[in-house]
A and B are shown apart, each in its own frame.
Chain A
Amino acid sequence: MGARRRRGPLPGFGLSLGFTLSYLGALVLLPFAALVLRAASLTPARFWELVSAPRAVAAFQLSFGAALAAAAVNLLFGLLVAWVLERYRFPGRRLVDGLVDLPFALPTAVAGIALTALYDERGWIGAALAPLGIQVAYTRLGVAVALVFIGLPFVVRTVQPVLRDLEPALEEAAASLGAARWQTVRRVVLPELLPAAGTGVVLALARGLGEYGSVIFIAGNLPGLTEIAPLLIMIRLEEYDIAGATAIAATFLAASLLLLFAVNLLSWRQGRKAAVG
């Protein structure tokens, strides 16, 4: 007697997996493959020459540096905002909660123009900072500020539900065992939040790496100084330098993947480590 293959209780596994894979393939993998293919048509020496040009290197540095810095800032403030929104009851809480989503909803160009207007030397904040010798608009700092703005909702929105569902008994148990408030937060609450916060950071980082619209207004776009990688790719395309564009794009893609992977791994480890203390 031939043994029948055991089936799970849920029907349609084959169909849904097939659909998922074809969908991902057509919409995500195919463009990537095309990009890699294009880049592969270059000789390695030419590829390296294009990618290691000072302007390209500076763009990479800025893009990754600013995105990482912004994600780090967002981790801190995202946790804080989520904590305040979930743990305290104050008038206008719902309004503040709604405001968090604003960077999602705003067209990025609008965000960019608004930020530029604010941080420009004649803008409200820019004018206040100018006497201190801090210039935000048209500098690398400006790039980071724009990325902080658009990345904030990710950490808040991933941490919030976890914080809301966190069993109160955990904190009560810690308190009854003698842990001071800060010890409870550090050893019990944060470890529970870190996986979600890590996810939020990865999302914010990914968004920051790919961000274009808001940054180009505030950055000033000086080649080699405040020019981000996506903009450089755009410029190359506009110059009909398809090979240059694909080389930079493929490198950017590979580096982004590596970075996201590394951050994911780190946040997973960190969650474990913080719990152990």
Chain B
Amino acid sequence: MSIRLEGLAKLYDGHPVVSDFSLELPAGELCVLLGPSGSGKSTVLRIIAGLLAADRGRVFLHGRDVSELPPQARGAGFVFQSYALFRGMTVAENVGFALAVRGVARAERRHRVEELLERVGLAGLGKRLPRQLSGGQQQRVALARALAHRPEVLLLDEPFGALDARIRTELRRSLREIQRELGIATLFVTHDQEEAFALGDRIAVMALGRLVEVGPPRELYLRPQTEFVATFLGAANLLVGEATEQGVRIGPVDFPLEHRGESEPARRRVQVLFRPEDVALLGEQEAGALPVLGTGTVESCSFAGAFEHLRLRLPPFVGVRAIAPPVPFGAGAFAVVASRPPHEARKLPLAPGDPVRVAVRRLHALAHPGLQFLLLAEPSAEGLEAVAFAGELARRTHARLAVILAGLDEATARERLGRGLGELTFRPARGGAVAAVPEAARLTGPDLVIAGAPAGRGTPLAESLLASGDHHLLVVRGPRPLPARVLVCAAVGEPGKEDVAFTGRLVRHLGAGVTVLTVLPESSPAVARAQAERFLQASARTLEPLGVATETRLGLGATEEEILAALAGGHDLLVLGVPLPKGAGEVALDGIAGRLVSRTGDAPLLVVRSFEESP
């Protein structure tokens, strides 16, 4: 491996800009680090070059641990967006700088400089001053300068960001050629996906300081794992459908799916992606073998060289939620973007307002369904804490957040939630805070409802919130940071698997550790103990591939006391599995669960609903 990064983390003023970032680059690879502005990609690059010290994690270049070395000793070539050429020096002196400071003899220096200038296409311009060159030429000088000392790795920080499109394309081609010839491992930072596709052997997508996905451009485009990558790379139609035995149901149509992503028991919803070019448009009479989504109308169409781009409007389907392209809330329809080549456009000319049947050629199910949170925002002290907690949680888990404003105005809620949230919608509570939840839950289909309740008195609220849909519930009871150590109290068997699986989906973004606890009566037979041990091991095997550090513990004794003792031992989120019937309906938290709700102080409590076996 030419570059190996292990668990890099960096905080600025207590805010994480890079968290748990690991990546490996084999020799000769050009990897593009792609992400929106502020996602921490430049920070990663600067950490590799030694221009910035990481708070955690290690950097290996060619197997050598350089984490503690100064930039001078790392042997990395760095190209800056601003070129950072030395103004007072000529082009040749700039390029020869790295050799001059190493005391290389003048003649050898001149020879190497000429060779480098020729390579970047600037032969004969060595005597000029940087300001006498164009921007593109200046960046070529910077590239040559960064290569002079034969660095082991090349790092480029948005190098073509300040240049116009034509020069960018030229420079990209030169860079790619030079990089291939030298066979030097290269990490290229950009926010421009066209650039990423054009250059990268692989693309690593970053968001909010984390590595979201990494893979060859084609793979990331066709088979993204996450909602973020699906919508960030290229145009996307992203819907949430109902999972069926064979595949996924969207409206009236059953789509078969080849592979179903992570196996999750009782997974009810599945996110599916189809690209604009996967949409087939059919005339009203036209027959076809493709599954038809429905009949819509053309909203707009535009011509862009090789393709015609269309936006279509379809009537809503029950149980289907659109994520992309976004439609205004309450539009009562969903939109599909499509593109088609000219020969298809000639066969079936379409203008805005025309009816058209929409079929889908290819459908991809995302492995990791995005999370949807529903937040009950109330002005009470615990309510406000819940808002802040939900904001932080949604930010870290890339979850979509719908907020019910129950006595809290939108500006205050926004301020408490903080910035950097992906998708955020607000709706007023009509007819009381809790009464607004079932309606909102039906519309948004949340995975998790978040609400605040005073310590020791949350049971009735929890019961009514759990009764309003088939979501899980997070109760925030005081000012707490995001959890660092999570205690999962799981019953052995199928219901416990859901507790562990959902905890994993949530916690994998937080960098928190998990303790899975199962409690058996002291008098349990050896068979039961062995079964519990197997369950705990399976839990660890489920969580660890998600990057969640997992401990397991088998408690023997009174369930309640064992849980309370474990919680007191430094855990800051309690996950309780509660078997409940599927769908909305009366919920009574009696027994252990109810008593734990009132006995667990002000640590946040996550109630994970596991479904009772349907008859």
Cβ of A128: which chain B residues have Cβ within 8 Å of it?
A: none
CB distance A188 to B72 under 8 Å? no
CB distance A178 to B149 under 8 Å? yes
> B71 at the A/B interface (Cβ < 8 Å)?
yes
* Given A173-B78, A175-B70, A178-B149, CB of A183 within 8 Å of CB of B86: no
Interface size grouping (class) on chain A: 20 to 34
CB distance B72 to A167 under 8 Å? no
Cβ of A180: which chain B residues have Cβ within 8 Å of it?
A: 72, 101
> B49 at the A/B interface (Cβ < 8 Å)?
yes
> A169 at the A/B interface (Cβ < 8 Å)?
yes
Cβ of A172: which chain B residues have Cβ within 8 Å of it?
A: 49, 51, 71, 78, 80, 84
Cβ of B84: which chain A residues have Cβ within 8 Å of it?
A: 167, 169-170, 172-173
CB distance B86 to A179 under 8 Å? no
* Given A170-B86, A274-B88, A276-B89, CB of A177 within 8 Å of CB of B51: no
CB distance A173 to B80 under 8 Å? yes
* Given A172-B80, A175-B51, A176-B71, CB of A275 within 8 Å of CB of B101: no
> B98 at the A/B interface (Cβ < 8 Å)?
yes
Give a binary string over B281-314; 1 marks a CB under 8 Å from any A CB, 0 the rest.
Answer: 0000000000000000000000000000000000
* Given A172-B71, A175-B51, A275-B89, CB of A187 within 8 Å of CB of B82: no
Cβ of A187: which chain B residues have Cβ within 8 Å of it?
A: 86, 97, 100-101
Q: Chain B interface secondary structure, helix, strand, loop or mixed?
A: loop
> B87 at the A/B interface (Cβ < 8 Å)?
yes
Cβ of B77: which chain A residues have Cβ within 8 Å of it?
A: 176
> Closest A-chain residue to B76, C-beta based?
A176
> A211 at the A/B interface (Cβ < 8 Å)?
no
A196 → B minimal CB distance (Å): 13
Q: Chain A interface secondary structure, helix, strand, loop or mixed?
A: helix
Separation of A177 and B76 alpha carbons in the complex (Å): 8
Within 8 A of B (CB), among A131-175: 167, 169-170, 172-175
CB distance A177 to B82 under 8 Å? no
CB distance B86 to A169 under 8 Å? no
Cβ of A92: which chain B residues have Cβ within 8 Å of it?
A: none
- Say which residue of B71, B72, B82, B88 sits within 8 Å of A275 (CB atoms): B88
- Say which residue of A167, A173, A192, A276 sits within 8 Å of B93 (CB atoms): A276
Separation of A275 and B145 alpha carbons in the complex (Å): 16
> Closest A-chain residue to B79, C-beta based?
A173
Separation of A179 and B99 alpha carbons in the complex (Å): 9
Within 8 A of A (CB), among B101-129: 101-102
Separation of A170 and B149 alpha carbons in the complex (Å): 17
Interface size grouping (class) on chain B: 20 to 34
A113 → B minimal CB distance (Å): 44
Give a binary string over B52-94; 1 marks a CB under 8 Å from any A CB, 0 the rest.
Answer: 0000000000000000001110101110101010111110010
CB distance A169 to B72 under 8 Å? no
Separation of A277 and B86 alpha carbons in the complex (Å): 12
* Given A175-B72, A176-B51, A183-B101, CB of A167 within 8 Å of CB of B82: yes
Separation of A183 and B148 alpha carbons in the complex (Å): 17
> B543 at the A/B interface (Cβ < 8 Å)?
no
Give a binary string over A183-223; 1 marks a CB under 8 Å from any B CB, 0 the rest.
Answer: 10001100110000000000000000000000000000000
> B146 at the A/B interface (Cβ < 8 Å)?
yes
Cβ of A93: which chain B residues have Cβ within 8 Å of it?
A: none
B87 → A minimal CB distance (Å): 7
Cβ of B70: which chain A residues have Cβ within 8 Å of it?
A: 175
Cβ of B101: which chain A residues have Cβ within 8 Å of it?
A: 174, 177-180, 183, 187
CB distance B98 to A177 under 8 Å? yes
> A46 at the A/B interface (Cβ < 8 Å)?
no
- Say which residue of A177, A191, A192 sits within 8 Å of B149 (CB atoms): A177
> A87 at the A/B interface (Cβ < 8 Å)?
no
CB distance B78 to A275 under 8 Å? no
- Say which residue of B74, B76, B88, B102 sits within 8 Å of A191 (CB atoms): B88
CB distance B80 to A178 under 8 Å? no
Cβ of A122: which chain B residues have Cβ within 8 Å of it?
A: none
Indicate the member of A167, A173, A183, A191 with the most B CB atoms within 10 Å: A173
> Closest B-chain residue to A194, C-beta based?
B88
- Say which residue of B51, B86, B98, B142 sits within 8 Å of A178 (CB atoms): B98
- Say which residue of B80, B93, B97, B98 sits within 8 Å of A169 (CB atoms): B80
Separation of A192 and B85 alpha carbons in the complex (Å): 12
* Given A172-B51, A176-B78, A177-B149, CB of A271 within 8 Å of CB of B88: yes
4 smallest A-B Cβ distances: which pairs? A275-B88, A169-B84, A177-B98, A176-B78
**Using a CB–CB distance below 8 Å, which chain A residues touch chain B?**
167, 169-170, 172-180, 183, 187-188, 191-192, 271-272, 274-277
What are 19 A-B contacts with C-beta separation under 8 Å? Answer: A167-B82, A172-B80, A173-B78, A173-B142, A175-B70, A176-B51, A176-B76, A176-B77, A176-B78, A177-B98, A177-B149, A179-B98, A187-B101, A191-B88, A272-B88, A275-B89, A276-B88, A276-B90, A276-B93
